Amino acid sequence: MRTIMLAATLLAGTFLASPALAQQVATETPIPAEAGQMPAGKLDGSVVPQTYRLDLTVDPTKDRFSGHVEIDVDVKKAGRFVWMHGRDLKVGKVTAMVGGQPVAGTFRQVDPTGVALVTFDAPLPAGKTTFAFDYDAPFGEGPAGMFHLKVGDDWYSWTQHESIDARASFPSFDEPGFKVPWNVTLRTPEGLKAVSNAPEVKTETANGMTVHTFGQTLPLPSYLVALMVGPFVTVEGVVPPTPQRSTPLPIRIVSTKTNTGKLDFALEGTKGVVQHLEAYFGQSFPYPKLDQITTPILPGAMENAGADLYADSILVMDDKASTAQKRNFGMIVSHELAHQWFGDLVTPAWWDDIWLNESFANWMGFRIGNEWRPDLNIGAGALAEGFGAMGIDALIAGRPIHQKIEKNAQIDAAFDTITYGKGGHVVAMIAAFMGDTKFRDGVRGYMAAHKYGNATSAEFFKAMAEAAGDPRILPAMQSFTDQQGVPLVTLERAGPQSWKVTQSRFVRYGMKGPDTTWGIPLCMRQSDVRQCTLMTDKTTTVTLKSMGPIMPNAGGTGYYRFELPAKEWDALIAAVPSMSGSEALAVMDSMNASFYAGRLTSDQLIAGSRALAANPDSYASGGATGLLQAMADRGVIAESAKPKFRAFVDGLYAPQLKSLGLDLKAGAHAGDDPEKQQRRVQLVELLAGTARDEALGAKLSTAVDAYLGGDAGALDPALFGAAFDAWLGTHKLDGAKALMDKALASEDPLFRPAALGAIGTTGDAATAKWLLDEFQDKRLRQSEKLNFVRYVVTTPETRDWGYSWMKAHLDELLNGGAGIFFGARLPQILSNFCSVAAADEFDGLRAKFAGKSGALELERTIERVRACGKIKDARGADLTAAIAKLK
């Protein structure tokens, strides 16, 4: 699974649907004592599934779907009661075959997370039997379980089952450790296509419906089962044979009719990614076919075995697409297809090991994406994401990468920046320290030992240690996966060419963290001299016999921050413009962290921003003024100094844009190399947004007028966001209404979300109130509705009003229905507040989040807001003064 934005799939406020059935769980009837205690997480193991047969009738135009499900099971413990899963299912008939005779039962959901109790009329003996269920259930409107959506003039349905949403599609034993074959039949209205994990082996007509029969799958857990129905369009091809695979691999790109003619790029790109992955793993693609499917509302992508699902914008493009969109394609497709081996072929035994699944795939996504298209510089994005994760990991409230998961409510919280960003960076660090070949051999050994089965982190660590031939690797890896926090390595001069290095846990200003020690693969560089050591003690001494500034994180691959004496900081900052992008990112992170810790001066922070802006790497230069922008948005920089700050940003970037040149027309710069294209887009966004460059804003607004007037070539899609922002800055509420109508009439995967995002972030109070209190239109999707809440609350000018609205509707937001990881991430939208008083206010929300997946994120948010308030009180005046004196 790879998410690319805050998931938002619930309705909010005036948008809210009636409470989900999960909130109407029958609790009046007590659970019989003989059934035992309800499992809060793992089932009790008294019944183990062996094979599933799904026969579902799916008409996406309807409100509900229906099915007959048979599960061959092994009853380990005789009795009348069976714990399993089902959420919002209306189960009409339950039977178990015992000695050739049916035993009737009843199905009752007893918990909102979908824990169900089946009670049979007579005890079931231990041994093999078959459960059968007849049921119907509602389609979801957000990407959880089986969901449907009208796109253009047609209805489609898809499934999204990770993490525990398969139970909303069919009765099941919905755990990753239950990995078995599946037999799928989908009955659909005539003329519709159906897609599942295995190839379709038979199609026939019965009772006016088309019956699609699929071959039996290889062993899969329930969360990887895919069931898609609709009038899809497809483009088809094969991945030619490779040294690892002797026969062609059939592949298709499957999408809605609105994307006809825009799928060839994805088809050709997928072929290349598959070939690179087969070479890395040293074995063929694990499944008999590959479908790459798109939907407009998934906030990312999902690795269903042989049937990956993606947001439209990830796959739907052509050769003229922006560098950012192509980078997303390369990274995310590589990530999801890496899962076909690492996650699907070998699956975590339980959700506490999902970090390994996602962290490895994240690392592979950047690595293989970079191999597929080196010109896109995809690989550098891995470090940018890893350093981004440090902002979360540095908090006292948090979790390690590898954590015990004992309750269903904890599962979705494991799919966060720690798992993806930190986990991927730690994998990259260990791979770099071990050496690429040894690390790859360890991966191959792990895959071979657990093929088509389940495995644990301990088994992965064992494979790595054996491949490395170094027993220190295991405890070093575990120090990063099993402990929370970011290491800080502090350098002090110990001699003319030697340094005393001390490790501690990084904390922000005004905070105190526990005493922690890691096994840090420490790599330092001075000029061309590089030295690496595994630092396991609190202190060590490093000697570098060279000249020039010291770089404590050579290559930027280390998951740690560093601190330097003031003069060394000055020397390192001066060297940033000529550094590699990866090292510049490492400097940027440690520099910003030092300011947040109260050490780096305001003048040094400003000097660092200048230096980073001059670095040629788009990741480094694009984030050069990011911390200063955050300080401005959060009020650390006072209003009186903000004109000077905008002028500073304009002075940094306007000459660069002038040098590159700017033509706003679609495809005008398609011939430039990808880095140059990306740099130009970043410059436009920074100058039109952060700097509020009036001349550029006027130019963008004129292009929007032409575009909305019917000239589709007047504005390049890569500039939609910046251009719509500028246009709405002058057109306000009337413009928002006009742009909304255009957006809702469109299914373009770039225009529609960009337009809606601009409307939500105008900062205009009247527009915010219209969006959340007044606007209703059936064309607006649930995810889009809730995104407006996020946009309004995170925009500085509407932040306070947005929070008041959110607080008034919090019960509805938390209980209004299911959405992929929504509850776990809801508190994130409060993170732009910056005061001790705001943190104290958010303390009062704890009771609302208690026992829910968002409880941890709320604690993180409270701490982040309080720490920001402390740095504002301590350093706001100094930073404001430093900005005010800029010329």
End-to-end CA gap in the chain: 47
Looking at residue 3, its pLDDT comes to 66
Residue in 336, 385, 563, 685 annotated catalytic: 336
Q: Helix, strand, or coil here: 136? A: strand
Q: Which domains does the chain have, with CATH numbers?
A: 346-481 (1.10.390.10), 487-576 (2.60.40.1910)
**CA dist., res. 263 & res. 268, Å (int):** 9
**CA dist., res. 315 & res. 293, Å (int):** 9
Looking at residue 22, its pLDDT comes to 38
Q: Are 226 and 159 in contact (CB under 8 A)?
A: yes
Contacts for 246 with CB less than 8 Å, ≥ 6 apart:
none
Looking at residue 7, its pLDDT comes to 35
Looking at residue 823, its pLDDT comes to 67
The CA–CA distances, whole Å, from 101 to 54, 98, 104, 121, 567 equal 21, 5, 10, 13, 84
Q: Is 336 a catalytic site residue?
A: yes
Q: Helix, strand, or coil here: 648? A: helix
**CA dist., res. 219 & res. 50, Å (int):** 10
Q: Which mean pLDDT values do the consecutive 10-residue runs of the chain (887 residues) have?
A: 49 30 52 93 96 98 98 97 98 94 97 96 96 97 94 97 96 98 98 98 95 98 98 98 97 98 98 98 98 95 98 95 96 98 96 91 95 94 90 93 89 86 90 90 95 92 88 86 96 92 95 92 92 93 91 94 97 97 96 96 98 95 96 97 97 97 96 95 97 97 98 97 98 98 96 97 98 94 90 97 95 64 80 96 94 88 96 97 94
Helix, strand, coil fractions of the chain, as percent rounded to 5: 45, 20, 35
Q: Are 307 and 319 in contact (CB under 8 A)?
A: no
Token readout for 714 is 């007047």
**CA dist., res. 753 & res. 717, Å (int):** 11
Go through the chain and tell me how many residues it has: 887
Looking at residue 4, its pLDDT comes to 59
φ and ψ at 294, to 5 degrees?
Answer: -120, 155
Residue 591 belongs to what H/E stretch?
Answer: helix 581-596
In 3D space, the residue among 613, 560, 581, 649 whose CA is nearest the CA of residue 883 turns out to be 649
**CA dist., res. 667 & res. 248, Å (int):** 35
The reply to whether 358 sits in an annotated binding site is yes
What does the angle CA 644 – CA 650 – CA 654 come to, to the nearest 5 degrees? 160
Token readout for 685 is 């966004």
In 3D space, the residue among 165, 151, 185, 179 whose CA is nearest the CA of residue 58 turns out to be 185
Token readout for 614 is 């001059």
Distance from chain centroid for Cα 607: 33
**CA dist., res. 637 & res. 367, Å (int):** 38
Looking at residue 415, its pLDDT comes to 85
Residue 244 belongs to what H/E stretch?
Answer: none
In 3D space, the residue among 11, 77, 88, 91 whose CA is nearest the CA of residue 46 turns out to be 77
Token readout for 878 is 């100094």
Looking at residue 546, its pLDDT comes to 86
**CA dist., res. 827 & res. 584, Å (int):** 31
Looking at residue 822, its pLDDT comes to 66
Looking at residue 545, its pLDDT comes to 85
**CA dist., res. 400 & res. 566, Å (int):** 32
pTM for the full model? 0.93
**CA dist., res. 410 & res. 404, Å (int):** 9
DSSP state of 215: P
The reply to whether 339 sits in an annotated binding site is yes
Long-range CB pairs of 375-379, under 8 A, 24+ apart, other chains included: 375/673, 375/674, 375/675, 376/323, 376/326, 376/327, 376/330, 376/674, 377/327, 377/581, 377/617, 377/618, 377/619, 377/674, 377/675, 378/327, 378/330, 378/331
- Residue at 118: amino acid letter: V
Q: Tell me the pLDDT tens digit for each residue of 749-773.
A: 999 999 999 999 999 999 999 999 9
**CA dist., res. 703 & res. 717, Å (int):** 11
581-596 and 380-393 are packed helices; what angle lies between their axes, rounded to 10 degrees? 10
Paired residues of 655 in beta bridges: none
